[in-house]
Each structure stands twice: as structure tokens, then as C-alpha cells.
Amino acid sequence: MKYYIIAGEASGDLHASNLMKALKQEDAQAEFRCWGGDLMKAQGATLVKHYKELSFMGFIEIIMNLGTILGNVKFCKNDIAEYKPDALIFIDYSGFNLRIAKWARAEGYKTNYYISPQVWASRAKRVVDIKRDIDTMCVILPFEKAFYKKYDYEVNFVGHPLIDAISQRKEITELEFRKTHQLNDKPIIALLPGSRKQEITKMLSVMLSLVDEYKEYQFVIAGAPSQDYDFYKSFIHTDNVSFINNKTYDLLSVSHAALVASGTATLETALFKVPQVVCYKGSNISYQIAKRIITLKFISLVNLIMDKEVVKELIQNDFQKKNLKVELDKILAGATRDSLLKNYDDLEQDLGGIGASKKAAAIFYAANK
């Protein structure tokens, strides 16, 4: 079959690439055309647009780039019509993908969604559109199946693909990692300030403001694959800071603690059993709008899945040096650290184990052949 897959972020590229690998095992004739990244391209897809061209964060940023976004929507529809796929698969990236899904369903294409839009966080009425426009949905968070059930929409819980991604990575010893990246033997505090320029700009300077107060540790910035070192280096004004690009999993595997931008990285950090403080700061207007439409008690996936505060969240005005130091001290040693690690074990159990990509591929292949 011919598959057209749309992913708009680095995490979507990762999960889509693993789904493609599993689809090829189900369907020996699988052909792929995609919006995504290098990992999807490596699985044999024809890459139409790279996610680096698609990343806009926050309400104001989206409005400022609305012309580009609408142009991409039009281009995508024309490209799908020319390719004539047997199945469309949408990976997260809901603002764009739900627009395409509405058009595609009306045009008679088979529509599939992997990694649900976060309708449980805000604008739950979108479920009506999803029921209308999506033939088959695979979800990755344990509470999502029950959420959709309330709206009489049956979805498939397949487990979280991060567990697959982590289990399949080539492991590296701590000694080898430190030698390769010229790190000293001090314990590592990892800094994960996000993948978009807007969020990195808002958060990295505050994270780095702690460096001089922790001489017994070394700080290592996890560079996102979508950004170059030249962008990061303007924030680094002190010693005891290293930069490693596109090796986040290797870094987390040897880290003692982490400061992490809210998003998928909070869950990745938890699965590597690294105590963390979750950070978020956006533009004031975007934050005020979000605060009025998002109905959740927490912003981190760790806390949302566990339905309690497992990791500390420092949001907007609370995200400042003084508070960050207080919370970092708590997770470097002691009872808070021990409790956090125990909760991480429970979290991993709730996520359903390995095999998400394989389960989703089997479901999509059966639904579309």
C-alpha cells in the first residue's frame, strides 16, 4: 500500500520512523511519502517537507506565521491528491493534521491517527470533528481510551512508543560517553530546554544561571536536532558547561539530574530514571490565552499520567533562578529523590510495556488493506 504520513516535530519523526519500520514488516509492498524528518527519510520515505520548516510555538507565533501555515495546508492537499495514497497517517501535530484530515475524509481517503491530539487538555469539543474525520485512532496514554469512551468513540491503546525507542537504542557505557564528548568525571546535570528557538530562548538562560553555584557538578546542554550549535553558544557565558547535539538519550542514560522543558522530554527523562524539574515559560500573551483554555491540573506528561505531582513544575513567573535552585537541591539527594524514582517505576508499568509501534502498525494495516 501507499502511505502518506504527516509528522511536524522531532518527536513525531522518531515515532513515525518506528511505525514505518513496523509497517514494512506487516506490508512488504509499503511505500511512503511524508512530512517529517531524517529518521523517516532513513526508512525509505520520500520527504516532502522537513519539520524544521513547520515548527511554530504559541498563539502569537502561529498568528505571525499564518500565511506560511495556510500555504503549507494548500500545498499538502495538492500533494496528497497527486500521490493518491491508500492510507493517510497523522502523527500528533494536531493544528495542521486535523485541517488536512477534514479535507481528506471528505475526499474519500482513509484516515488514521497515531498519537492523539491533546483534546483532553483543551477544546474537548474537537472530539466531534475527530469522530467525523478519523477512521482509526491509536492512542499512547493510558487515560486516553477512557476519555474517548465518554464521547462514544472507540480508540486503540497501544502503549507508549518511547518505551520502544529507548529499548531499541544502542547503549553506550558511561566511560565511553564521557570520553567521546570530553566530559570530566563530575556528576552530570542535563539541561533540556526544548527544541524550538522560542522556548530555548525563554528557558536556557535561566537554567544556565545556576551553573556557578554547583561547582561539584557539570552541566550539559542537550542540543535539539532542529537547531545548530551557533544558536546555543550565544547563551553560554561560563565554564563548566558542555554541549552535545542530538544525543539526548545517551546523555540522560548517564545523568544524575535534569532541568527539562515541558513536553515529551519530561517523559523521556522519567523513563531513563533521572530526577527532574519541569520548566515552562512562553510569551505572556500566549500563556494568558493558554491558561484560559487548558483545563489540566498539570502540564508535564509524568504528572498527567500519574494523576498527581510526581515532578515539580515551575511555570511562567515561577520559573526563575531562586525557585529552580530550591527544587534542584531537593532532587540531587534525599527523600524527594528517592520518592521520585519510586514513582518512575510505577509510571513505566502504567505505560503498557514495549511493542507500541508494532501494535499500531498491525491495526493500521488491517484497517486499510
Arithmetic mean of pLDDT, 244-267:
95
Q: In the numeric block, which cell numbers belong to residue 55?
A: 515548527
- pLDDT per position as a tens digit, 305-338: 999 999 999 998 899 999 999 999 999 999 999 9
**What is the share, in percent, of the chain residues with pLDDT greater than 90?**
74
Q: What is the pLDDT of residues 100-112, one digit of tens each?
A: 999 999 999 999 9
DSSP secondary structure string, 241-301? Answer: EEEEES-HHHHHHT-SEEEEESSHHHHHHHHTT--EEEEE---HHHHHHHHHHB--S-SSH
Identify the pLDDT of residue 295. Answer: 57
pLDDT band (50, 70, 90) for residue 62: low
What is the distance between the alpha carbons of residues 212 and 209, in angstroms, rounded to a whole number? 7
Cβ neighbour number for residue 270 with a 10 Å cutoff: 31
pLDDT given at position 319: 94
pTM: 0.80
Query: What's the pLDDT tens digit per position in 232-249?
Result: 999 998 889 999 998 999
Cα 294-295-299 angle, rounded to 5 deg: 70
Rg (CA), the chain: 20
Please say whether the beta carbons of 260 and 276 come within 8 A.
yes
pLDDT of residue 11: 84
pLDDT digits (tens, 9 = 90+) for 63-102: 555 666 678 899 999 999 999 999 999 999 998 999 999 9
Which residues, other chains included, contact 107 with Cβ-Cβ below 8 Å and sequence gap of 6+? 81
> What does the block give as the cell for 37?
524528518
Set of cell numbers at residue 200: 530555548
Residue 52 has a pLDDT of 81
In this prediction, residue 337 carries a pLDDT of 96
Residues of the chain with CATH 3.40.50.2000: 2-160+354-368, 167-350
| Structural fold of domain 167-350 | Rossmann fold (3.40.50)
State the DSSP string of 121-142: TB-TTHHHHHHHH-SEEEE-ST
Domain with residues 2-160+354-368, CATH architecture: 3-Layer(aba) Sandwich (3.40)
Quick check: 34 and 56 in contact, CB under 8 A? no
